Amino acid sequence: MGSAFNRDAAALGPQLEAIESDARKLVSGLTFEQGAWRSAPESWSVAECLDHLATANRVYLEAMRPAAEQALAGGKKRKGPAFPGLIGGWFVSSLEPPAKTWLKGKAPRIIRPRSQPPLNDAAAAFFASHRDVGVFLERFRDIDLARTHFPNPFIQGVRFSLATGLNVIAAHERRHLWQAWNVRRAEAATGAR
């Protein structure tokens, strides 16, 4: 999807719907054991991928909300497209699946998944956090998302526009759903039922 993807805030609603549909297909019919299966001890299960996304979404929204509320209260209306800037756009593209080998590393401690969360619990947390992203977008879509900035909760001293933050969330969700699908396919191929 990368750079050809329309990153304006208006495109985020349909993106979020597509992500939700993909996640529902991912967990459909999975047992607790299948959701907890890992291809290797250091890799994540489907449940851990969803748990990670739920936590990351929550942390990102908490960082974004004060700036959005202030812009809304101050009447900072949108004057043009809500695109990420050059660096923000590059960062969003780097998160799109498939995972880039040069970008692989441990997730920040604050958003690492719980160890072996129950699939139903991790999925419920993900869907709740995903709905919160949609509520955030709906509430703040008319403010100047491209010119309202918030402190990145993971990289000290870096500020992103709200437009970048929303696109980061969507790309990050696609990336880890892609990862979870790979885990599901690998589990099915082993016949580990």
Instruction: Please state, in angstroms and rounded to a whole number, the distance separating the CA atoms of residues 140 and 176.
Output: 26
Instruction: Please state, in angstroms and rounded to a whole number, the distance separating the CA atoms of residues 152 and 97.
Output: 21
Question: Domain span at residue 123?
Answer: 2-190
Q: Is the peptide bond before 98 cis (omega within 30 degrees of 0)?
A: yes
Instruction: Please state, in angstroms and rounded to a whole number, the distance separating the CA atoms of residues 36 and 15.
Output: 27
The pLDDT of residue 6 is above 50: no
The Cβ-side half-sphere exposure at 49, using a 13 Å CA radius, reads 24
Domains held by the chain: number: 1
Instruction: Please state, in angstroms and rounded to a whole number, the distance separating the CA atoms of residues 65 and 72.
Output: 10
Residue 157 contacts by C-beta under 8 Å, 6 or more apart in sequence?
none
**DSSP letter at 108?**
P
pTM of the model: 0.91
Do residues 112 and 42 touch, judged by C-beta distance below 8 A? no
* pLDDT tens digits along 26-49: 999 999 999 999 999 989 999 999
115-138: burial string, b at 16+ Cβ within 10 Å, e else:
eebebeebbebbbebbebbeebbe
* pLDDT tens digits along 73-118: 999 998 878 888 888 888 899 899 987 766 667 888 889 999 899 9
**CATH classification of the domain holding 35:** 1.20.120.450
